[in-house]
Amino acid sequence: MQANVWTRAAQVPYDRDNAGPPATEGRKEQRNMQDTSGSGRAEPAVVLSGVNLSLGRGAARVHILKDLDLHIDRGEAIGLLGPSGSGKSTLLMVMAGLERIDTGSVVVAGEALDALSEDALARFRGRNIGIVFQSFHLIPTMTALENVAVPLELAGLDDAHERAARELAAVGLSGRRQHYPAELSGGEQQRVALARALAPDPRILIADEPTGNLDEGTGAEIIDLLFAGHAQRGTTLVLVTHDPALALRCDRTVRLRSGRIEAVPDGAPAGAKP
């Protein structure tokens, strides 16, 4: 089945490494160990500077993100690659304001997230960030239409259900609006989740292994919809994946290992398949 086309609708001492050689231009993997500025355009969508984050307590405390810098331009698509436990999902949560960092700064859509209260962060996310999870996270007692309408209603929009209906149509689910999640296939549930993420027209779309629970064919349809939404709306896309080929559909690929951004080996072609 063809994918539909979107329509507009406490501090811890940390060790620090030196940066590597400058990054190359254009579509690429990063050659700089820590910075990762994109094409150099003004007003980046995301700026992380000297970010450190540890989770857990006492002997169980684990240093997850290590002195990490990352710049993402507005409208750019970034593929985050790395082995399990490298910090990819944690990095997404930091960008969304769902994890508080220990040191450093996080600026998203021009807003310093570390300066915001929890309530202010929630309002900021509602206006600026759409999130697609691997496990859908739909509300089981709400229909597809009601699930998509949730962020619109929280934003106080009078036409929330009308807009939600248009978003469901954009992902090919006009005929499934009144179905509950348990009545939908996995692919249909992820379409609902994608429609919900994009319904408020967020500046930044974060996707954490969005096809991880889907078969190959269905996953390909979801990815086509994801990239179509990114392209047509000009939304900044940050995609976590284990699939190097999928990451190469992005404008830029960034590799994480043990909480650090990893340099591309000398001589490796920029943007090449990892």
| Average pLDDT of span 163-186 | 94
Which pLDDT does position 20 carry in this prediction? 39
Q: What is the pLDDT of residue 72?
A: 95
- Percentages helix, strand, coil for the chain, rounded to the nearest 5? 30, 20, 45
Distances from the Cα of 164 to the Cα of 54, 100, 161, 236, angstroms: 38, 31, 5, 21
Residue ranges making up the domain that contains 254: 28-261
Task: Summarize pLDDT for 96-154 with one digit per residue, the tens.
Answer: 999 999 999 999 999 999 999 999 999 999 999 999 988 889 999 999 999 999 999 99
pLDDT at residue 254 greater than cutoff 80? yes
User: Hey, is 243 helix, strand or coil?
Assistant: coil
Q: Is residue 6 part of a domain?
A: no
Does residue 152 sit within a domain? Answer: yes
Residue 55 domain flag? yes
Domain for residue 272, yes or no?
no
Across the chain, mean pLDDT equals: 83
Q: What is the mean pLDDT of residues 241-265?
A: 86
Phi/psi for 259 (5° steps) reads 80, 10
Return the pLDDT at 263.
64
Q: Is the pLDDT of residue 223 over 80?
A: yes
126: domain CATH number? 3.40.50.300
In the chain, the number of structural domains is: 1
With CA atoms as reference, report the closest residue to 139 among 168, 181, 175, 167.
181
Type of residue numbered 20:
G
What percentage of the chain reaches a pLDDT higher than 90?
63
| Within a domain: 39 | yes
Tell me, yes or no, whether 19 lies in a domain.
Answer: no
Cα(145)–Cα(206) distance, integer angstroms: 21
- State the pLDDT at residue 5: 45
Domain-located, residue 23? no
Return d(Cα 162, Cα 145) in angstroms, integer: 9
Q: Does residue 168 lie in a domain region? A: yes
User: Predicted confidence band at 266 (pLDDT cuts at 50, 70, 90)?
Assistant: very low
Place of tokens 């501090």: 11
2 or 87, greater pLDDT:
87
Query: Among 146, 89, 100, 156, which Cα is nearest to 126's?
Result: 156
Q: Are 51 and 65 in contact (CB under 8 A)?
A: yes
**pLDDT given at position 42:** 57
Express each pLDDT in 58-80 by its tens digit.
888 899 999 999 999 999 999 99
Beta partners for residue 48, in sequence order? 70, 106
* Strand 77-81 with 103-108, pairing: unpaired
Q: Distance between CA atoms of 265 and 238, rounded to whole angstroms?
A: 23
Contacts of 252 (CB under 8 A, 6+ apart): 27, 28, 29, 30, 36, 38, 76, 77, 78, 79
Phi, psi of 163 (to 5 degrees): -65, -40
Query: How deeply is 22 buried, as exposed, middle or buried, from its count of CB atoms within 10 A (0-12, 13-18, 19+)?
Result: exposed
pLDDT of 156 over the 60 cut:
yes
% of the chain beyond a pLDDT of 70: 80
